[in-house]
Amino acid sequence: MTREDELFRINDTAFYTFDIRILKERIGYIKAALPEDVSVCYAVKANPFIVREIERDVDGFEVCSPGEAEICERLEIPSKKMVISGVYKTPSFIEKLIANPDFDGTFTVESPLQYSLLCGLSQQYGRKISILLRLTNDSQFGMSEPDIESILLNRDRYPLVNHAGIQYFSGTQKSSVKKLRREIEHLDEWLISLQDRYGYTAGCLEYGPGFPVAYFAEDEFEEAGFLSEFSKMLEEMTFRTEIVLEIGRGIAANCGRYYTHIVDIKQNKGRNYVLVDGGMHHIVYFGQSMAIKQPKLSVVGKPGVNTETKWMICGSLCSMNDIIAKQIPLPDIEIGDILCFENTGAYCMTEGISLFLSREIPAVYLIRENGEAVCVRPAYETSQLNLSEYGREQL
Ligand SMILES: Cc1ncc(COP(=O)(O)O)c(C=O)c1O
């Protein structure tokens, strides 16, 4: 059995760890803070590596692409737990799901075209399907209120289609209680008006609250108070229905750590540079803001910092943009030291431009609750992915 501390010896390049104990504690914390009857659906895009580990801890999975569906299928996640979401639903993929008599997941509907596709396939295969109509947040996602209302007005045309409810996701990193209140109050009023005007009772509100994660010192916020306010807002809704919260970042972020080795140290024109073997192709904090704000990081085995010297931490790509952190105080460092970036369990890994410069994709380890470090993906040479098959045949 490999222990977490052995990973530093085994890996001579960057890697990620996702700590399952921290992850499960996090889900437990969020659930305890929410009203008892509210369910939690994990957004797979935040981190597909932890899906199997939390299958029993969450009520469902939001699946946003054929690739994510394949991951869930291969992990034998029951289709009943899947909400097939996404602004582009590949028609052949949707047909495959609807044609499959064993599939009983739910589909979201992001446009009138998607509605026609889903209803048409349901009729063609004579299969009952369940859908959630996604309300837009004034972006390319979801549908306008009039579009949804027009669907609901004519919903009897499709007796095989269960118009199960409404989905609404308005953005991520939302820490303003005021904004969430406005959003929930509006949803509440609109759901009541659907009942009054169209005799439609939404059986479910699948709502993405976009819970914030404090990545940087200036992001700190009082989470317990925030969650308690949020729960109160849900409880105060007049329209009573099943509420499912779609959460990605808020569940996955704090279980993740990214480790990268210091491979060079230098001073250029009075600036101190640390070069690491990872870089922005591996790790992206929220919206590339990592070089503007200071992410939480430490040097393995070296507590404290020397505040006299500030460092630019740069990755190993041929790009001046490959700056992971700016003006960071570190302890006294040397080549071979390992930097640990905290809170990297959500999106950080998959939003990196992993194929740039044909560098390796980092290995991924799950740290099981008994302390065992399990390698769930070895480091990958991306040169194979960047090699033209056509070119190879011609050689
Ligand atoms: C439809 C939907 N639900 C849930 C999420 C998860 O959001 P977050 O990671 O902010 O919780 C997203 C993120 O893009 C989304 O698009």
Q: Domain coordinates of the chain in residue numbers?
A: 4-13+254-384, 34-247
C-alpha 152/C-alpha 345 separation (Å) is 39
pLDDT band at 131 (very low <50, low <70, confident <90, very high): very high
DSSP conformational letter for 388: -
Residue from 169, 226, 344 whose mutation best tests the ligand 1 pocket (most atoms within 8 A of CB): 169
Q: What is the mean pLDDT of residues 15-34?
A: 97
Query: Is 145:179 a contact under the CB 8 Å cutoff?
Result: no
pLDDT band at 289 (very low <50, low <70, confident <90, very high): low
pLDDT band at 393 (very low <50, low <70, confident <90, very high): low
Nearest-atom number in ligand 1 for the CA of 173 is 10
Domain 4-13+254-384: assigned CATH number: 2.40.37.10
Residues with beta carbon inside 6 Å of ligand 1? 43, 46, 62, 85, 169, 172, 208, 210-211, 246-250
Dist. CA 209 → ligand 1 center (Å): 8
Judge whether 4-13+254-384 and 34-247 match in fold: no
CATH 3.90.650.10 fits 34-247, yes or no: no
What the block records as the tokens of 187 is 């949803």
- Amino acid 394: pLDDT: 52
Strands (E), the chain: 15-19, 39-43, 60-63, 82-84, 106-109, 129-135, 161-169, 204-208, 242-247, 256-268, 271-276, 297-299, 306-314, 323-330, 338-341, 363-367, 373-377
Q: What is the mean pLDDT of residues 348-353?
A: 87
- Amino acid 395: pLDDT: 47
pLDDT band at 73 (very low <50, low <70, confident <90, very high): very high
Assess whether pLDDT exceeds 80 at residue 292.
no
- Amino acid 359: pLDDT: 82
Q: What is the mean pLDDT of residues 282-296?
A: 77
pLDDT band at 9 (very low <50, low <70, confident <90, very high): very high
Dist. CA 249 → ligand 1 center (Å): 8
Amino acid at 341: F
Dist. CA 246 → ligand 1 center (Å): 7
C-alpha 247/C-alpha 180 separation (Å) is 15
- H helix intervals, the chain: 7-10, 20-33, 66-74, 91-99, 112-125, 145-153, 177-198, 223-235, 249-252, 389-394
Query: Is 191:202 a contact under the CB 8 Å cutoff?
Result: yes
Closest listed residue to residue 298, CA positions, set 252, 260, 242: 260
- Amino acid 290: pLDDT: 62
Nearest-atom number in ligand 1 for the CA of 247 is 11
Q: What is the mean pLDDT of residues 80-92?
A: 95
C-alpha 58/C-alpha 48 separation (Å) is 14
